[in-house]
Amino acid sequence: MIRLEHGDWVATVALQGGAVAALTKGGEDVLRPTPKGATDILDFACFPLVPYANRIAQGRFVFDDREIRLPVLPRFAPHALHGEGWLGVWTVLEQAADRLTLSFGADGWPWRYEARQTFSLSDDGLRIDLSLSNRHTTPMPAGIGLHPYFPRHAETRLDAPATGVWTGEDIVPNRLAPSDAVFDWTDRAVADAPFVDNAYEGWSGEARLSDAAGTTIVRASADRLHVYVPTGEAFLCAEPVSHRPDVFNQAAPGEQGFTVLPPGETLALWMTIGRT
């Protein structure tokens, strides 16, 4: 684990999964802390989504007349989920007291790529810069996102206005509906929400999570936010992402966040987390 500090802020980052294990301000958990001894990255506080976010239906898609088959983890079968950055070990490129840059590349994607994350602490909180660069000789489909987990209390409210939500008959959505078709997150009590695992379109780029102790403010350079509110859990997720779920199967390049990166080009996203 690598510990970063700046003023009241402390972040702990693991090379496994390039994941944040903890983020605190003045000793208070701002992200859901990782249980002691945990090794499953899904139990960590935040992890990167690269080279795609969320689900790819049946772990397959066609790109440039070529069928691509992706690794599928048994517990998420039959769909591929969240890319491969969260499953591998990242390498330290630069490190300082309040700043850390990591790099990652793997073999489960048919195109060579390099992902980077820079974690920076300041008086305002944590900033994560995530990038994905095409190191291959041909264009590649690309997507990124960040998957933070936030503590959830009985009184927690989420304010994350959006214009629409991706929904469908099963876990892989196939249509865009008004945001209230699932749950409209315009200053709503989380306790009032049903089970939610949906991507919201037309997000403002800011989300506020309020509880009795204060407000966590999330900002990102994304106009899509995937919200995960499982039933009966002490957390929720508000994930800035570059594209809708299953985008490589259900959209054309340039639509709904479907990015095609030419060789040498980079897709980037940043997120900040503050607390007042």
Cβ atoms of residues 270 and 220 within 8 Å: yes
Top CATH class, 2-275:
mainly beta
Nearest to 55 by CA among 86, 85, 81, 87: 81
Cα–Cα distance for residue pair 272/206, rounded to 1 Å: 10
Q: In terms of pTM, does the model score above 0.95?
A: yes
Cα–Cα distance for residue pair 211/63, rounded to 1 Å: 45
Amino acid 35: pLDDT: 95
Domain ranges of the chain: 2-275
Q: What is the DSSP string of 110-173?
A: SS-EEEEEEEEEETTEEEEEEEEEE-SSS-EEE--EEEEEEE--TT-EEE---SEEEE-SSSS-
| Angle, vertex CA 257, rays to CA 256 and CA 262, nearest 5 | 135
Amino acid 135: pLDDT: 96
Mean pLDDT, each 10-residue run in order, the chain (276 residues): 98 98 98 95 98 98 96 94 96 98 91 98 99 97 99 98 95 96 97 97 98 98 98 97 98 97 98 98
